Structures are given as structure tokens and as C-alpha cells.
Amino acid sequence: MSLEPRAIVCIAIWTLLPCVLNEVGSCRQHRSPWGFLSPRPQPWAGPVFTQQPTDLVVVAGQPVTLPCSIPGYHGMVLWLRDGMALGVNRDVSGYPRYDIVGDHSKGEYHLLIQRTEMQDDAFFECQAIQAAIRSRPARLTVLGKTI
């Protein structure tokens, strides 16, 4: 059995990307139902932050909320202060002035600091562990009270 050169090329392409012989016998690419076989790269549609913390200045003793929203994400969320983990998901029990607030079903993991202190003057970051994404680091500047 002998094959014409264009048939061999089409068979070879079929092993990598599906193709279909058109009416003149040449091979054209066929869009596959599998994204990784598609002729065009598909954008990754994983979780993204819709709210991230931003740099803030607050007077000591005042509350502050650092936003973190990742709609559709149902994995582990971690808040960090100067690179050190504060807790996982809604558990920040080691920090009695801290709380995670927001609607969990909507992917909201906002960090509430009830009464800021000078030790809260730091960089904060929210991370979605399984999605391997992290928010931009935000600087919280705490100003001392003047009497």
C-alpha cells in the first residue's frame, strides 16, 4: 500500500492535532473538544482575585479591613504578615484582634484588624494555596496616637 505525500503528512498531523481531509485531498486542522489539542492556545480560566489588599495608613487603635476576594475558589486561603502565616481559611485564633470576615460562599476572606497597634505596621498578603496565586503585597502603616 502506497500513500501520497499529502496523506502521510495528514496522518502525522493527526497524531498531534486532529485534521480532516477536505474535498481536494489536503489536510486542514480540526478543532478538538480537548483544549490542550486545540490549534489555538486557550487562556487558563482559574481563580483570580477580584479584591486585593492595598496600601493603607491608619491611626493606632482604629479598625482596618484588608480585602481579599476570590470568587469560585474553594481551596485553602492564607493571610501573611511580613511573610509569616497568620492562619488558614477563617482560623486566625493566634491573633485575638484579627478576624476573617466576608461571605465564604462568595470567596470573601477579608482580614479585619479590630484595633490596630504599632506591631501591625507591616506588609500583608492573601494567598489561594491550591490555585497557586497570591495578592499583591499591601503595606499597612500604623501611625501612633498623639495626645
Quick one: 29 and 66 in the same domain? no
Quick one: 29 and 82 in the same domain? no
pLDDT average, residue stretch 111-132:
96
Answer yes or no: is pLDDT of 94 > 50: yes
Number of structural domains, the chain? 2
Q: Could you list the residue range(s) of the whole structural domain that residue 24 is in?
A: 5-37
| Of residues 136, 70, 26, the one with CA closest to residue 13 | 26
Give a yes or no: residue 27 inside a domain: yes
Give a yes or no: residue 117 inside a domain: yes
pLDDT recorded at residue 89? 87
Quick one: 81 and 128 in the same domain? yes
Residue 7: CB atoms within 10 Å = 14
Quick one: 66 and 121 in the same domain? yes
Per-residue pLDDT tens digits for 15-24: 344 444 444 4
Of the pLDDT bands very low, low, confident and very high (cuts 50, 70, 90), residue 13 is very low
Give a yes or no: residue 131 inside a domain: yes
